């Protein structure tokens, strides 16, 4: 996958939902839930974010306070590369996009519906990180072309370890293993036990909508209100790694879980 695809392929990756029609050492301290969590907020068409985030195992809250669907694609700039350089290469029309001499995909939140928020806990190395949204807006142009790209610095080490999750979803080479999931706000470990990177795309058709409605919406360029709710998820996790995500699941709702490599599953939360 090219860097462009890794950083900005939410529309294609999320369409995979339609196919159904490493953490800290033992010396680390558990994460303190009372500690202040940095927040990255998506609006139309910008992010509100801290300029510095402590590295190591760290938690970041991602919140969509806009009226449109937004993503939080994450990348780490290569030494000497700039935010402007990355933006030019992502929007120049070249399908290959920037190489790893400009930025490397980290794997962010692929899509978040308006009013949704998720807290992601993972290990971040020091460096300059970029967050961007490539989902198309009402005019059909990706939000990045309206300026929805920004950066923040990661430095230091929290010396923390992730808190114990409420449930674990495991990606294997050819399948997902999904436990019984309760409704409500909870922390889920997304664990990649496969031999290559895996994505955790999560979506649920809105009440009264079916997968064909979602398919038509994708085919129309994701214009208009989304007939599917996106409560969270992660774009990519390296083999052998885990990302922890605190998100809200609604009672009695069916969710679709997919990965662009062909993995798929569905689950319904308890009422």
pLDDT in tens, 34-75: 458 999 999 999 999 999 999 999 999 999 999 999 999 999
Q: Which fold has domain 3-160?
A: Immunoglobulin-like (2.60.40)
| Cα Dmax for the chain | 52
pLDDT-derived band of residue 10, with 50, 70 and 90 as boundaries?
Answer: low
DSSP3 helix / strand / coil % (the chain, rounded to 5): 15, 40, 45
Name 86's bridge partners.
Answer: none
Burial 8-35 (b: 16+ CB within 10 A, else e): bbbbebbbbbbeeeebbeeebeebeeee
Alpha carbon separation from 5 to 59, 73, 102, 166, 253 (Å, rounded): 25, 11, 14, 32, 30
Overall CATH class of domain 167-268:
mainly beta
Closest C-alpha among 133, 132, 122, 128 to residue 152: 128
In this predicted structure, the answer to whether residue 16 has a pLDDT above a threshold of 60 is no
pLDDT of res. 221: 86
In this predicted structure, the answer to whether residue 6 has a pLDDT above a threshold of 70 is no
* Residue, of 18 and 250, whose pLDDT is higher: 250
**Cβ(10)–Cβ(71) below 8 Å:** yes
Q: 217-228, pLDDT tens digit by residue?
A: 989 888 888 999
CATH 2.60.40.420: which residues of the chain?
A: 3-160
Taking the C-alpha atoms of residue 199 and residue 202, their distance in angstroms, rounded to an integer, is: 10
């Amino acid at each position: 996958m090219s860097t462009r695809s890794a950083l900005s392929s939410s529309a294609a990756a999320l369409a995979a939902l339609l196919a159904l029609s490493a953490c800290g050492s033992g010396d680390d301290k558990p994460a303190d839930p009372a500690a202040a969590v940095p927040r990255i907020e998506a609006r139309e068409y910008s992010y509100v974010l801290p300029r510095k985030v402590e590295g190591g195992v760290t938690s970041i809250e991602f919140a969509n306070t806009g009226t449109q669907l937004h993503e939080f694609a994450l990348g780490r700039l290569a030494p000497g590369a700039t935010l402007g350089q990355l933006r030019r290469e992502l929007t120049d029309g070249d399908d290959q996009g920037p190489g790893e001499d400009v930025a490397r995909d980290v794997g962010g939140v692929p899509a978040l519906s308006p009013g949704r928020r998720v807290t992601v806990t993972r290990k971040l190395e020091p460096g300059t990180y970029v967050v961007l949204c490539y989902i198309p807006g009402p005019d059909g142009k990706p939000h990045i072309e309206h300026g929805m790209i920004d950066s923040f610095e990661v430095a230091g080490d929290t010396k923390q370890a992730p808190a114990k999750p409420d449930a674990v979803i495991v990606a294997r080479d050819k399948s997902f293993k999904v436990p019984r999931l309760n409704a409500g706000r909870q922390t889920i470990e997304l664990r990649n036990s496969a031999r290559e990177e895996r994505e955790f795309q999560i979506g649920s058709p809105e009440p009264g909508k079916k997968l064909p409605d979602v398919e038509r919406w994708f085919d129309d360029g994701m214009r208009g209100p989304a007939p599917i709710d996106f409560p969270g998820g992660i774009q990519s996790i390296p083999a052998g790694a885990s990302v922890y995500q605190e998100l809200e699941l609604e009672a009695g709702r069916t969710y679709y879980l997919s990965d662009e490599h062909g993995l798929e599953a569905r689950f319904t939360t308890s009422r």
